[in-house]
Amino acid sequence: MKYWLMKSEPSTWSWNDQKRKKTEMWDGVRNYQARNNLMKMQKGDLCFFYHSIKEKSIVGIVEVTREHYQDPTDKTKKFVVVDVSFKEELKNPVTLEEIKKEKRLSNLSLIKQSRLSIMPVDKASWNLIKKISLRSK
């Protein structure tokens, strides 16, 4: 199993939308590196759901339930989607500010490539972020 982070603008697709719909395709990716990451995802992989723009925080976890296929919203036929399903909500959102303060997370693409919308997360970082989410705020 691999771990990932997927960014979404809450005004486009929010965590509440994902919870309500349960399973949905993750469409609209138009960056080649992000597309390549979608193509590496396998059924059962887990992904942090990150609210971008104003909130800038990880709010939940989704699971890849269908591996990559053609993005029906892409007229060029160059980009792909995966289906993801609601898995769990984090006890507390983990903000970008908290992630930047934690030196053990300094290797994350979220910090190094802030505009990338789909990125891998190593297992140690995944576990640490989950632990941070359990802290009382």
Q: What is the DSSP letter of 104?
A: G
Q: What is the full per-residue pLDDT of the chain (137 aa) written as tens digits?
A: 999 999 999 999 999 999 999 999 999 999 999 999 999 999 999 999 999 999 999 999 999 999 999 999 999 999 999 999 999 999 999 999 999 999 999 999 999 998 899 999 999 999 999 999 998 76
Q: What is the DSSP letter of 103?
A: G
Closest CA to 62 of 136, 105, 121, 104: 121
Domains, the chain, ranges and CATH?
Answer: 3-129 (3.10.590.10)
